[in-house]
Amino acid sequence: MQRTFDTLGEYRSYMDDASIDDGLLVATSAVRDARNGQDFLARAQRVVGVSARILDGNEEATLSYRGATQDLAPDSRPTMIVDIGGGSTEMALMRDDVLSSFSMQLGCVRVSERALGSGVVDASADARARTMIAAELDRAFAAEPAFGEVAGRVRLVGLAGTVATLVQLERGISHYERSLVHHQRVTREGVERWRQTLSRETPEERLRHAGMVRGREDVLAAGLYVLAGVMDRLEVDELLSSESDILDGIALSLLA
């Protein structure tokens, strides 16, 4: 909590330097789940000095979709986003101008803590993670039948750190540049190759790969388990990365 407040204090300084006095602070999965979420948010709001609120899962998915699709080229297929966070994974689909969304209780941190662990993955951890992910996907597809109806014919766009780090690993990008990560194609085979590679390694060994982001070495494998599960359920063999995400969606909502 204190690390977050310290970071928000830095943001407030940047805002002061730019003469910004309005904005929106949003909290997502971790604060939704926390018993002291409202107290945490109230203190965070005092630090940063703008309006603050907790997003529900559907709001999170909607804003992620809006941000991720703002600069996409047209496509004849319906577009779906998958936003893999720490505690939740949002899926949102636009079809015939109707947005269907669902927030799964899956994320790279949650799956690591509850099923996979942070080190070398053994058979029992692998089974726990797969069972956890399959159960949440069952829940999502039951709640939103439209997801199953587009399986095999959807454009899948992947957001957030798991996908961005995967692109960097695939390309061997040691120093982040948005233009090298944004709107890159990643195959299902590439997801599986890196899932298997990282699962056999310790976090320290994972850091030796060009493109691995420090701080994700203990949770990226779990994020790839989630991504692989989503791609398999949707019967897609590639996804498009997007560095435009929920933050862009929030900014667009403020400008509307």
Task: State the pLDDT at residue 96.
Answer: 83
For residue range 37-68, what is the model confidence (pLDDT) as tens digits? Answer: 999 999 999 999 999 999 887 888 888 889 99
Task: State the pLDDT at residue 118.
Answer: 87
Question: Which residue ranges form the domains of the chain, and what is each CATH number?
Answer: 2-54 (3.30.420.40), 57-249 (3.30.420.150)
Task: State the pLDDT at residue 186.
Answer: 95
pTM for the structure as a whole? 0.85
Torsion of CA 27, 169, 73, 80, to 10 degrees: -50
Task: State the pLDDT at residue 88.
Answer: 87
> How far apart, in whole angstroms, are the C-alpha atoms of residue 190 and residue 18?
41
* 147 in Cβ contact with 234 (< 8 Å): yes
Task: State the pLDDT at residue 206.
Answer: 95
Q: Mutual orientation of helices 220-234 and 123-143 as an angle, nearest 10°?
A: 50
* 158 in Cβ contact with 82 (< 8 Å): yes
Residues 6+ apart with CB under 8 A from 120: 199, 200, 201, 202
What the block records as the tokens of 190 is: 């590439």
Task: State the pLDDT at residue 30.
Answer: 83
> How far apart, in whole angstroms, are the C-alpha atoms of residue 177 and residue 14?
22
Mean pLDDT of the chain: 93
Task: State the pLDDT at residue 16.
Answer: 95
* Regions of the chain with pLDDT less than 50: none
Tell me how far CA of residue 138 lies from CA of 132, 182, 190, 200, in angstroms. Answer: 10, 30, 24, 28
